[in-house]
């Protein structure tokens, strides 16, 4: 974590934004929330408008229909827009980024996309101000669309949540709001290495930014984001092989998941101030009151999901025939639309603990890495609009021949370029893998 190399102009702007706004977040009992209540028959936590989101139950059933378990989950069926405007200044690509406060952020203010708006936001269900810069992403006057895909978010906390990830290029002048700043791509890449600065939504969009690859990338020097771009010859596996591996992993997955009433979730208890698992190792659902100075609305109450621990997400990186590869994993998460997406090599809700049911493959390699193997190691925050102090330690660990090219069936070696080709479509990479893909581009 270091601000070394971050332009002074940015640091000045950032300090100013941090001083200009304020956020007072107080935990309150559920019954002090305004507009939110527990639905009678289901026990679901819902908003009176029927909009925003709800907290419901999710039940997972084994293939043989016998074993099953359940948990609370956030259900937000609408698609939001996460959009970054890009523009060349003197031939250098810049991204229009926003200083944005979210109630769940440990540090209140983080760097957000140009537009980060739920449908409730931009259709103004809560009667706030219109979303700035949204017209560049929607409607007839928008710029050149470079990226426009639906991407999943946390499948352990959300039910079928997707957001529309967009990158739009403009050539005309764009009026600059004081919360917004043009940031050169090279500076933005470096900022990923600063703890809790670049927020989850930014990272998700950055993973798909169609800019030239850095030195850590391999393959086509042109537009590597385009789904039409050729796979690099240097990759260990062809894209066909990777797609087949992914299809095979999906067919092996024989459990199913569905929404159930929150009241029908066993093993979780609701008290006046929290809904939590009795074992105490997952998360709480809590309620907060937010007093804000510069958000769309002056103050509100809402539920947040508060994980109990710092998470861990890590890719192993090794050279195969001289080309860096990331060790992708077919990750199963109950809230993902198709249950399986490509995930980091190791992904755990608690960085300090093993996985449920013993340590997962390669956790020992991640934990045992010497300092000179660590290519990336930064703690970053998850979505502060839904999660309270949810943070994950993101790591890229370089390994050598001690990790073989031949790996268990849930794993597959892939290049950065191949993952970027896949992220041109939805439902291939989960949000943690997309964060690490963005981080890999910071090297």
Name the site residues for a copy of itself (rule: CB under 8 A): 50, 64-65, 77-79, 145-150, 164, 226-231, 239-241, 243-244, 247-248, 250-251, 254, 256, 258-259, 337-338, 421, 424-427
What is the nearest approach in angstroms of a copy of itself to the Cβ of residue 79?
A: 5
For a copy of itself, the closer CB: 129 or 238: 238
* Token output for 312: 């861990």
- Alpha carbons 299 and 256: distance in angstroms, whole number: 39
- Which residues in 338-371 are b (16+ Cβ under 10 Å) and which e? ebbbbbbbbbbbbbeeeeeeeebebbebbbebee
Would you state the structure tokens that stand for residue 36, as one six-digit string? 């939110």
Rounded to the nearest whole angstrom, what is the least distance from the CB of residue 4 to a copy of itself in the complex?
36
In this structure, what token pair is assigned to residue 42?
């289901």
Which phi and psi (to 5°) does residue 409 adopt? -60, -25
* CA-CA-CA-CA torsion sign (288, 262, 280, 430): negative
Instruction: CB nearer to a copy of itself: give 221 or 358.
Output: 221
139 or 280: CB nearest a copy of itself: 139
How many other β-carbons are positioned within 10 Å of the β-carbon of residue 408?
9
Closer Cβ to a copy of itself, 248 or 278, answer by number: 248
Calculate ∠ Cα 310-312-318, nearest 5°: 160
Task: Give 184 or 259: the residue with its C-beta nearer to a copy of itself.
Answer: 259
Nearer to a copy of itself, 145 or 359 (CB): 145
C-beta closer to a copy of itself: residue 165 or 347: 165
Looking at beta carbons only, is 22 or 79 nearer to a copy of itself?
79
Residues 93-109: b if buried by 16+ CB within 10 A, e if exposed? bbbbbbbbbbbbbeebb
- Looking at the Cβ atoms of 167 and 286, the one nearer to a copy of itself is 167
151 forms bridges with which residues in the sheet?
163
Question: What minimum distance in Å lies between the beta carbon of 432 and a copy of itself?
Answer: 21
Q: Which is nearer to a copy of itself, 107 or 256 (CB)?
A: 256
Q: How far is the CB of 403 from a copy of itself (least distance, A)?
A: 22
Residue 320: burial class (beta carbons within 10 Å; 0-12, 13-18, 19+): middle
Cα–Cα distance measured from residue 26 to residue 31, given in angstroms and rounded to the nearest whole number: 14
Nearest distance, CB of residue 86 and a copy of itself, angstroms: 14
Rounded least distance, CB 238 to a copy of itself, Å: 8
Query: CA–CA separation, 146 vs 281, rounded Å?
Result: 41
Residue 5 vs 227, nearer CB to a copy of itself: 227
Cα gap 166→416, rounded to integer Å: 20
In angstroms, the CA 47 to CA 54 distance is: 7
Element (H, E) at 363: helix 363-367
Shortest approach of a copy of itself to residue 42 CB, angstroms?
Answer: 14
Of 45 and 197, CB closest to a copy of itself:
45
3-state SS of 242-293 is HHHHHHHHHHHCCCEEEEECHHHCCCEEECCCCEEECCCCCEEEEEEEEEEC
Left, alpha or beta for 26 (phi > 0: left; psi -120 to 50: alpha)? beta
Nearest-approach distance from CB 147 to a copy of itself, in angstroms: 8
Burial class (CB in 10 A: 0-12, 13-18, 19+), 78: middle
Neighbours of 280 (CB within 10 A): 9
- To a copy of itself, the closest distance from the beta carbon of 427 in angstroms equals 8
> Minimal distance in Å, beta carbon 43 to a copy of itself?
18
Tell the smallest beta-carbon distance from residue 78 to a copy of itself (Å). 8
Work out how close the CB of 224 gets to a copy of itself at its nearest, in angstroms, rounded to a whole number: 11
């Amino acid at each position: 974590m270091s601000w070394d190399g971050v332009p002074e102009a940015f640091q000045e702007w950032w300090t100013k934004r941090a001083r200009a706004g304020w956020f007072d977040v107080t935990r309150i009992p559920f019954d002090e929330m305004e507009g939110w209540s527990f639905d009678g028959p289901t026990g679901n936590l819902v908003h009176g408008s029927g909009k925003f989101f709800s907290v419901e139950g999710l039940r997972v059933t084994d293939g043989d229909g016998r074993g099953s378990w359940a948990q609370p989950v956030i259900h937000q069926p609408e698609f939001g827009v996460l959009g970054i405007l890009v523009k060349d200044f003197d031939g250098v690509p810049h991204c229009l980024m926003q200083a944005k406060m979210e109630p769940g952020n440990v540090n209140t203010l983080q760097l957000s996309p140009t537009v980060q708006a739920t449908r409730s936001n931009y259709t103004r269900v809560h009667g706030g101000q219109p979303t700035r810069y949204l017209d560049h992403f929607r409607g007839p006057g928008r710029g050149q669309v470079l990226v426009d895909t639906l991407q999943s978010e946390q499948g352990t906390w959300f039910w079928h949540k997707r957001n529309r990830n967009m990158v739009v290029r403009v050539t005309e002048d764009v009026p600059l709001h004081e919360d917004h700043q043009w940031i050169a791509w090279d500076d933005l890449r470096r900022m990923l290495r600063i703890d809790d600065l670049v927020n989850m939504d930014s990272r998700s969009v950055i993973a798909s930014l169609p800019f030239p690859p850095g030195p850590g990338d391999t393959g086509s020097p042109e537009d590597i984001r385009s789904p039409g771009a050729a796979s690099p010859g240097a990759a260990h596996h062809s894209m066909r092989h990777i797609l087949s591996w992914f299809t095979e992993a999906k067919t092996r997955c024989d459990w199913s998941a569905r929404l159930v009433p929150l009241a029908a979730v066993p093993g979780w208890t609701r008290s006046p101030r929290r809904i939590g698992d009795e074992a105490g190792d997952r998360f709480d659902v809590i309620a907060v009151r937010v007093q804000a100075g510069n958000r769309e609305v002056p103050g509100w109450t809402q539920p947040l999901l508060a994980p109990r621990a710092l998470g861990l997400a890590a890719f192993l990186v090794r050279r195969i025939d001289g080309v860096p590869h990331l060790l992708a994993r077919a990750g199963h998460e109950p809230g993902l639309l198709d249950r399986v997406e490509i995930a980091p090599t190791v992904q755990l809700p608690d960085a300090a603990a093993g996985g449920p049911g013993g340590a997962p493959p390669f956790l020992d390699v991640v934990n045992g890495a010497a300092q000179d193997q660590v290519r990336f190691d930064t703690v970053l925050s998850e979505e502060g609009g839904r999660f309270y102090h949810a943070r994950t330690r993101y790591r890229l660990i370089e390994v050598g021949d001690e990790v073989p090219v031949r790996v268990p069936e849930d794993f597959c070696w892939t290049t950065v370029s191949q993952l970027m080709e896949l992220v041109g479509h939805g439902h291939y990479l989960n949000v943690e893998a997309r964060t690490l893909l963005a981080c890999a581009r910071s090297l």
